[in-house]
């Protein structure tokens, strides 16, 4: 990964340093998984994974809830 800087920390790391490490680790793991999927699954495996669709504006309980929801707008 280009542009990454690694520095040795002595003692207890700050929360910001831990958060940055977690982001870097997740990014490296995602890139590795994508490379493995591209190698094993061809072009379909090289695409980013699909994300779940979340419906917003779900009707709330109660009388006339369908009128207040995003389903009818």
State pLDDT tens for residues 29-65: 988 888 887 788 776 666 766 766 665 555 556 666 5
Q: Tell whether the model's pLDDT for residue 9 goes beyond 70.
A: no
Q: Report the candidate in 61, 57, 33 with the shortest Cα–Cα distance to residue 46.
A: 33
Read off the pTM. Answer: 0.44
Over the range 20-50, which residues count as b (16 or more CB within 10 Å of their CB) and which as e? eeeeeeeeeeeeeeeeebeeeeeeeeeeeee
pLDDT-derived band at 73, boundaries 50, 70, 90:
very low
**Is 14 a residue whose pLDDT tops 70?**
yes
């Amino acid at each position: 990964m280009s542009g990454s800087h690694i520095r040795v920390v002595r003692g207890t790391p700050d929360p910001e340093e831990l958060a940055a490490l977690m982001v870097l680790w997740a990014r490296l793991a995602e890139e590795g998984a994508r490379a493995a999927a591209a190698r094993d699954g061809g072009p379909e495996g090289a695409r980013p994974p699909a994300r779940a669709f979340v419906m917003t504006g779900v009707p709330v309980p109660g009388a006339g809830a369908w009128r207040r929801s995003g389903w009818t707008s």
